Amino acid sequence: MMGQNAHVTSPDNHRAGFACFVGRPNVGKSTLMNALVGTKVAITSSKPQTTRRVIRGIVHRPDAQIIIVDTPGLHRPRTLLGERLDSLVLSTLTEVDLIGFCVPANEPIGKGDRFIADKLSAVKKTPVIAVVTKCDLASKEQIAAQLLAVSEVAEFAAVVPVSAQSGEQLDVLGDVIIEHLPESPPLYEGGQLTDEPEQVLVGELIREAALEGVRDELPHSIAVVVDEMMVREGRDDLLDIYAHMFVERPSQKAIVIGHKGERLRDVGTRARKQIEALLGTRVYLDLRISVAKDWQRDPKQLRRLGFYD
């Protein structure tokens, strides 16, 4: 279990442990995690269900270390991939020290929020706090009304309004999370932001660039495999990355490529800039695209693309 080695008594009252954010799609979970960690870690496209991996971001403070597990939105699965994503989410929830239930300040609480609140009530041993996100998009009156509405959905250990965009109340949220973590020495070294291999993060950044500005049917249909990452011979300052995008249908491939390949070039440029910012080095990105028919429903293809049972 993730949290087990966290329960070591630390002589200086340092706390460390695991937290995760859950909520229906597009409530700002990845954006919130990135704001807390201070580096772009999880994919933050505006399309629902686009966070694929359970990527951990790590917040380092003098008094504590918060290891954040980012989960895909809980949803009612339609495909084998959806079922696999949901089983990942539920297994994550039982293995953390704290759950943050995210609800946006600028949208009324709906069926999806209640569906997730019900799921969370089944996770008996883990404390749940409510995080009212996107407060920069709501008036003071809206925020006050939402805080009240949220506290009526279920009993939460705390309710915290935040804005990941402006940074308002992020420090308060950090304090509330830390209160619920066990006393423990740091679990990760100071320089680590995430324990995902770099290739996974690079794949996520390519996927995010490919999703920007395309039609709604595409999010689930793009997978990225990074075949090779290596420093170019004789050039310490340049990293060669060979990556392959997979879609399910030729029509989707056409959308990603765009007119005369313009869109694919834009995707490559956007992804390369993000990867360079993440890795701190110049990057040559070789990006290809292929059709892998109905990969979301095929267990063998899911395994090949990195989604394990």
Q: Is 300 annotated as a binding residue?
A: no
Cα angle, residue 246 at apex, residues 244 and 251 outer, rounded to 5°: 130
Instruction: Provide the token pair at 295.
Output: 């990969």
Q: Is 125 annotated as a binding residue?
A: no
Distances (CA, A) of 154 to 1, 128, 240: 26, 10, 50
Q: Is 73 annotated as a binding residue?
A: yes
Q: Is 31 annotated as a binding residue?
A: no
Q: For residues 232 and 263, is the Cβ–Cβ distance under 8 A?
A: no
Q: Is 30 annotated as a binding residue?
A: yes
Q: Is 72 annotated as a binding residue?
A: yes
Among candidate residues 206, 186, 192, the one with its CA nearest the CA of residue 267: 206
Instruction: Provide the token pair at 142.
Output: 């809206």
Q: Is 92 annotated as a binding residue?
A: no
Q: Is 126 annotated as a binding residue?
A: no
Count of Cβ atoms closer than 10 Å to residue 187 Cβ: 18
Q: Is 118 annotated as a binding residue?
A: no
Q: Is 57 annotated as a binding residue?
A: no
Q: For residue 72, what is the DSSP state?
A: P
Distance, CA of 296 to CA of 97 (rounded, Å): 32
Distance, CA of 144 to CA of 272 (rounded, Å): 42
Q: Is 110 annotated as a binding residue?
A: no
Residue positions counted in the chain: 309
Among candidate residues 70, 124, 67, the one with its CA nearest the CA of residue 94: 124
Q: Is 48 annotated as a binding residue?
A: no
- The answer for residues whose C-beta is within 8 angstroms of residue 113's C-beta and 6 or more apart is 23, 24, 103, 153
Residue in the structure block whose two tokens are 């996520």: 204
Q: How many helices (H) and strands (E) would you count in the chain? A: 9, 9
Q: Is 71 annotated as a binding residue?
A: yes
Task: Report the binding-site residues for GTP.
Answer: 23-30, 70-74, 133-136
Task: Report the binding-site residues.
Answer: 23-30, 70-74, 133-136
